[in-house]
Amino acid sequence: MDYLEALKSLYQSLTEIEKHFFQFTMTAISFCFIPWIVRTILSRFLDIKSKSVKSNYEIRFLHRVQYLFGFIFSIFWFRYFGVVGWYSKLAEIGLLLFSVLVVHSVLDFFEDQFSRSSSLDAIPIKPFIELIKIVTSVIMLVLIITILLEIPPMALISGIGAMSAVLILIFKDSILGTVTAIKINVHSLVRKGDWIEVEKYDADGVIKDITLNVITVENWDKTTSIIPTYEILNVGLKNWRSMTTQGRRIKRSIALDANSIKFLDMNHVQELASVPLIRQQITELCESNQLNEMGDNMAKRCLTNAGLFRLYVKAYLRTRDDINEEHTLIVRQLDCSSKGVPLEVYCFTKNTNWDHFETVQAEIFEHLYSVLGLFELRVFQDISQLDIERAA
């Protein structure tokens, strides 16, 4: 280290102008020569390791790291030679700035890796990354001000305490968004990719992004709704995640004409017993002596066409491979109204794809409408002008 001591002694013997020239030279080396060396070494190292084209995150990381090493080099020399003044302050500010930028680059890399992974993409990591960026940026800003004003950091922080009301007002959305983001993540309330409905903001679609301040929803009509993050828990949110992951619900009814519902005689019952889906059930009723001819003994069971049709619908649904029998499967009769007697089908499809769901639903009801005549049932519908003309 003798040559360093000799160089230091030489620097101390220089005039003020010569010292300024030395400081300027070291600053130029820090900005140009050192970053070039670091960039060359890191670029070749990454090329050897990955053998692939660098991503934007790698390029940004290299750009920031090369200047970080340059400022570390300049601070080392300035501290060693006892340099004080604006050159030293600029070196310290540069070191702080690029240290934070390097941290931000690493955070951006982790966010990109989470978004690329299908198993991790649903985790709302972006609000926490933004929170870390805000905290590190605030710390950097405080330290830069202390360097420029040459005051202890705690003195500045105590002064900022007097401005806390103003800061809370400025960063209100971010603070509330941070608290909400923690609740969302802990309780897994909403995730990226969830289908949600928020009536207040006319949102009905898929969550595309969750940030510290806003949640972006792409609606089904391809419009975009922006919801403040801190309000997402107070606006009547409906999340359809379970439906899209476990099964999509079919809840639709057929309006039967009440005038077409009737008791069946034994001949018609025997005809319907030839239908494979309800043959076993009719046979069991006959064998258990629960079924009797209409009017013979009203204390015993007399089947109706609507009742057998209800049994048929449920049996038909159980034969379909695309209906999930592990979830609720009900065929029920709702309250009669001026629009007929609704027979509701309530079940879930296995495939949650929207197009597949609509196809399955259509196939089920097309089949049910086509077999109504077999049970001598009619669908209720209002009389049209054509019906009136035909009756006339």
What are the residue boundaries of the structural domains of the chain, listed by start?
2-183, 184-244, 247-262+304-385
What integer is the mean pLDDT of 273-282? 81
242-250 mean pLDDT: 76
- Percent share of the chain, pLDDT over 70: 66
Higher pLDDT, 192 or 54: 192
First-residue to last-residue Cα distance in the chain = 117
Neighbouring CB atoms inside 10 A of 69's CB total: 19
Nearest to 347 by CA among 276, 253, 275: 253
Has residue 62 got a pLDDT over 60? yes
Give the residue-averaged pLDDT of 203-214: 84
Query: If pLDDT is split at 50, 70 and 90, which confidence band does 331 have?
Result: very high
Give the pLDDT confidence score for residue 99 in this predicted structure: 83
Lowest-pLDDT range of 98-102, 121-125, 185-189: 121-125
Which CATH class, in words, describes the domain spanning 247-262+304-385?
alpha beta
Q: Which of 314, 312, 308 is nearest to 347 (CA)?
A: 314
Q: What is the DSSP letter of 211?
A: -
Fold matches, 184-244 and 247-262+304-385: no
Q: Are 200 and 119 in contact (CB under 8 A)?
A: no
User: From CA 316, how far away is CA 364, in angstroms rounded?
Assistant: 9
pLDDT value at residue 297: 44
Closest CA to 235 of 257, 217, 259, 247: 217
292 vs 252, higher pLDDT: 252
Quick one: pLDDT at residue 160?
Answer: 61
Is pLDDT of 262 > 60? yes
Q: Please tell me the distance from the alpha carbon of residue 281 to that of residue 285, in angstroms, as a whole number.
A: 6
Count CB-CB contacts under 10 A for residue 132. 13
- Report the pLDDT value the prediction gives residue 54, as an integer from 0 to 100: 56
Helix pair 354-371, 305-319: axis angle to 10 deg: 150
Is 90 exceeded by the pLDDT of residue 93?
A: no
Q: Positive or negative CA dihedral for 350, 351, 356, 358?
A: positive
> What is the edge-to-edge ordering of all strands in the sheet holding 330-333?
248-256, 341-349, 330-333
Q: Mean pLDDT of all residues in the chain?
A: 76
For residues 24 and 65, the answer to whether their CB atoms sit within 8 Å is no
Kindly report the pTM of this predicted structure: 0.50
pLDDT at 295: 44
Residue 124: band (very low, low, confident or very high) from pLDDT cuts 50, 70, 90: low
pLDDT at residue 51, as a whole number: 46
| Cα distance between residue 385 and residue 305, in whole Å | 30
Is domain 184-244 given the CATH code 2.60.40.1080 in the classification?
no
If one compares 71 and 122, the residue with the highest pLDDT of the two is 71
User: DSSP character for 222?
Assistant: S
Give the pLDDT score at 27: 67
Does residue 178 carry a pLDDT above 80?
no
